[in-house]
Structure 1
């Protein structure tokens, strides 16, 4: 393992050096820092040109200037990073890089995780329901979303997801026929996801239609959209339902110990709702991480106490249930900040933002600012998720179909294993091997900056920093962008190699 890491690190370092050198030289040829001075009518034009040549060392060949830039970057190893400066704004590139990287990570992480979870889940279900109405519908939607231009999606989201929804919140009313149509559509979708005979699918259709209609009538009839909250009962029921679903997937509902531990952890999330309100008063990001670990630990402890023939499965199921329970508590507390946020002068009754990553001049508590971050994330996240979701759906469906036809899957069925064990432990895990290549590299690609999405929604991330550097003929911001993205791409490829060994024991990284 050590030899493998050493060889990869050495070769990656060489690749990064060559790539940054070539790009530095090419960018230096492509840009002209003296462009606006050449057309200037100032009486001291020649003096200004000479001053800038001296400032940027333009009289020095670009390969030599590259090594000067590289020496500044090498200072990061001793805590003295120098990525150069943006001379047009007199800012250090390191300051611009940190702020841009934080904004992009904030946007990309949420979008990538959501697209990955939803895309893989839908792709697997589509493969298991091959040649059904659900499969054909998902294939059509995937190709449709994949072919949509991102700028068009972003503009439509601003028009209907922000402007239209903000107008709707002024009078949130929907007629009964519309609710019934939406409920029937939801019923059709849910019954298509379940296998079985006509009777079972009819039961699923009827139950999901009634539940969806009931939820919509309650939300619109009680004004929930203007004063949203979950409450302890909904949190307990939702967390318990998530625990049941996780048990069904990971352990099987016949594993009563795992089921009981997950249910107990879900109920725990609802029980602690009231004392958590006091703990949420002076909350912070650091405490959020602490409580995530606490709720996971509570779930793991519950799984260990309930035990069973395989304690590890019970601990994993209830641990994930605890994580979901805290997530629901956190969302509920953010919802309680809706009224002061909605009525603040900075928001003025239009909470879904169309520009920027935060509202300027907004005052309020930690929870108000959290809610503000979420409202600004909604539209760009949806824009990125829709396109990435389509790709993940297609990849996961194709991979799952290929795996389901393998000999070891037929052997597992012939041994009498349950369908859940065959799918989850044999087929699904092996279907993730091709995705282990795509996901890290895709994350690195999106981290390079969702340039169009950032421009349309006014997010100043990595893509904006790169384009601004080119527009202003500044080489240092462009090189900082290239360095970070190159390093992330190398790390992503390395993580993909490690994931191969985790998913497939036959693969060894030191082979």
Structure 2
């Protein structure tokens, strides 16, 4: 298993380099970070323009700039930002934990709900329960992420107005200033996560529950399931120990592939709820044509995607002994 994990990591390195280079090149060609200075009236002094050009390495060709930035990343230097007072590495580090807690909690909730709903829907195929879960699944699947987030935010505002107190938080990842005491701060952060987490989880749950249902139906019609029932095993044991374990393999694949779209959904969700996370940092970087910040954001996101795909590959061996032994 260790050799397999090392092999997967080595294979991922060229993918990581290629994706980072493409974004770096596109960001470089898409705009000029000095455009705001050039458009100022009265005009910016030429020596200021020249100094910024050197600081941002705009006087260097594309390929040397990329490798210079990549070499800096390996030493913890993510390059100069268009905003001279901004340290890209520090910004990414602080904002990463804001976003990753949202993504992790939303994925856990979505997976648990998707597995439970998918199994129940498969066991009760073509019943009222199945039709209801199918309708809800397609409803959330068809609903845009930004629209669902806006609806939940408005619902939270209306609920707070109805009870006359701040029960559901609709702005920010935490209160400013934070409440005194570690316990109060943890409760405050969790309170701010309720609506964004529900918004992100519902979009993911909708697709995953359909995959779970389809996979369970396919497994339940397999010969080894009939054999297990014929041997006298209880329905519960057959469903959980034999059917569900095999049915989770396709869901693992889909979850790993969807992590990129979940990160994209987190960008939208953070924008609606005004979180200062990775999404807000990406949008700021794009607006200011900050190539180094945008490329660094993608590099971190690509590492997360590759890590989740590696975890999925390792889970295959846990779920199916045939893969582990092979």
TM class, shorter-length: over 0.9
How many aligned positions are there?
326
Of 129-138 and 106-115, more deviation after overlay is shown by 106-115
Aligned to 2:35: 35
Aligned to 1:70: 70
Q: Give the alignment's Cα RMSD to 1 decimal.
A: 1.7
Counterpart among 125, 129, 132 of residue 124 in structure 2? 129
String of CA shifts for 1:413-451, please: whole Å, max 9, x gaps: 111211111111111110001011122333454245611
1:451 equivalent to 2:267? Answer yes
The separation in 2 between residues aligned to 1:371 and 1:6, in whole angstroms, is 39
Aligned to 1:507: 323
The separation in 2 between residues aligned to 1:103 and 1:361, in whole angstroms, is 17
Aligned to 2:160: 166
Q: Say if 1:31 and 1:470, in contact at 8 Å, map to a contact too.
A: no
Aligned to 2:46: 46
1:157-306 alignment runs, 5 A limit: 157-160=152-155, 162-170=156-164
The separation in 2 between residues aligned to 1:374 and 1:5, in whole angstroms, is 34
Tell me by how many angstroms 1:353 deviates.
1.5
String of CA shifts for 1:2-25, please: whole Å, max 9, x gaps: 443333222211221222122211
Aligned partner of residue 103 in structure 1, secondary structure: helix
The separation in 2 between residues aligned to 1:132 and 1:441, in whole angstroms, is 31
Counterpart among 307, 311, 325 of residue 495 in structure 1? 311
Alpha-carbon distance change, 62 to 410 in structure 1, aligned in 2, over 3 angstroms? same
Q: Per chain length, whose mean CA-contact separation is higher, i.e. which structure has more relative contact order (CA < 8 Å, sep 6+)? A: 2
String of CA shifts for 1:133-178, please: whole Å, max 9, x gaps: 0000110110011101122212221222x221112223xxxxxxxx
The separation in 1 between residues aligned to 2:271 and 2:15, in whole angstroms, is 31
TM-score by length of 2: 0.94
1:110 equivalent to 2:105? Answer yes
The separation in 2 between residues aligned to 1:406 and 1:9, in whole angstroms, is 35
Aligned to 2:289: 473
Q: Say if 1:28 and 1:475, in contact at 8 Å, map to a contact too.
A: yes
Counterpart among 147, 150, 167 of residue 145 in structure 2? 150
Aligned to 1:17: 17
String of CA shifts for 1:357-393, please: whole Å, max 9, x gaps: 1111243222222221122111111111221121121
The separation in 2 between residues aligned to 1:163 and 1:154, in whole angstroms, is 12
Q: Say if 1:105 and 1:447, in contact at 8 Å, map to a contact too.
A: no
1:383 equivalent to 2:199? Answer yes
Aligned to 2:166: 350
TM-score by length of 1: 0.61
Q: Say if 2:199 and 2:269, in contact at 8 Å, map to a contact too.
A: yes
Aligned to 1:185: none
